């Protein structure tokens, strides 16, 4: 009986040791650069996100934001059973509050639509992008494999000092999770916009 109990203790110790080692490995293998500090209540140029704004304050807030336009292009896999094209849509948000949605194929909202985006929502996207280190010099944002197209998303970010956008592409299934975070927020905000159909 004592031998059996000793064996059980030994097995339990091995299991605990194995779990602790695994946990330590996960923690040790996590690059420190992925730790993004997002404040509960932003300060500085993003302080407006957590309060109401009058018209003049809103103009000042919009002018202070680092990106003039943020554009998400979506391509999805085709439906081979229905012989239909995959999802093809473009979501565009601008610093002045204009939102546009252009559904080309494979989406519920077909055609061109326009709406408005609250300055605080646009500011939240800008804050996240800045905290993720997105800039004109940043290259390693998004991951595309050689066989990704057309199952990818593309993010185009426009800066005030440049006419050409900084373009990032990401595999839809196995890409950069940081890109996925931004993509998810943009798509969520697009679903909340009150759209008006332009090309009826």
Confidence of residue 148 (pLDDT cuts 50, 70, 90): low
Average pLDDT, the chain: 79
For residue 198, give the 3-state DSSP assignment: coil
134 or 66, which is more confident:
66
Nearest to 172 by CA among 36, 96, 73: 73
Specify the pLDDT at position 191. 94
131-141 pLDDT, tens digit each: 888 887 766 77
Instruction: Give the integer Cα–Cα distance in Å for 58 and 169.
Output: 32
Fold of 44-197: Mago nashi protein (3.30.1560)
Could you tell me the residue ranges of all domains in the chain? Answer: 2-28, 44-197
Is the pLDDT score of 96 beyond 80? yes
């Amino acid at each position: 009986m004592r031998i059996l109990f000793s064996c059980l203790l030994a097995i339990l110790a091995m299991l605990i040791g194995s779990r602790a080692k695994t946990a330590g490995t996960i923690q040790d293998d996590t690059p420190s650069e992925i730790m993004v500090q997002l404040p509960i209540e932003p300060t500085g140029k993003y302080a407006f996100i957590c309060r109401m704004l009058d018209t003049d304050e809103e103009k000042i807030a919009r002018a202070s934001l680092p990106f003039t336009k943020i554009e998400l292009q979506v391509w999805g896999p085709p439906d081979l059973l229905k012989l239909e094209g995959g999802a093809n849509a473009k979501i565009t948000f601008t610093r002045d509050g204009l939102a546009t949605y252009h559904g080309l194929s494979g989406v519920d909202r077909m055609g061109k639509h326009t709406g408005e985006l609250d300055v605080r929502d646009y500011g939240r996207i800008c804050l996240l992008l800045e905290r993720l280190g997105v800039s004109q010099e940043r290259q390693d944002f998004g991951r595309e494999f050689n066989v990704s197209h057309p199952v990818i998303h593309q993010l185009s970010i426009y800066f005030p000092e440049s006419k050409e956008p900084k373009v990032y592409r990401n595999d839809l299934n196995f890409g950069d999770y940081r890109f996925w975070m931004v993509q998810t927020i943009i798509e969520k905000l697009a679903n909340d916009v009150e759209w008006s159909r332009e090309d009826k």
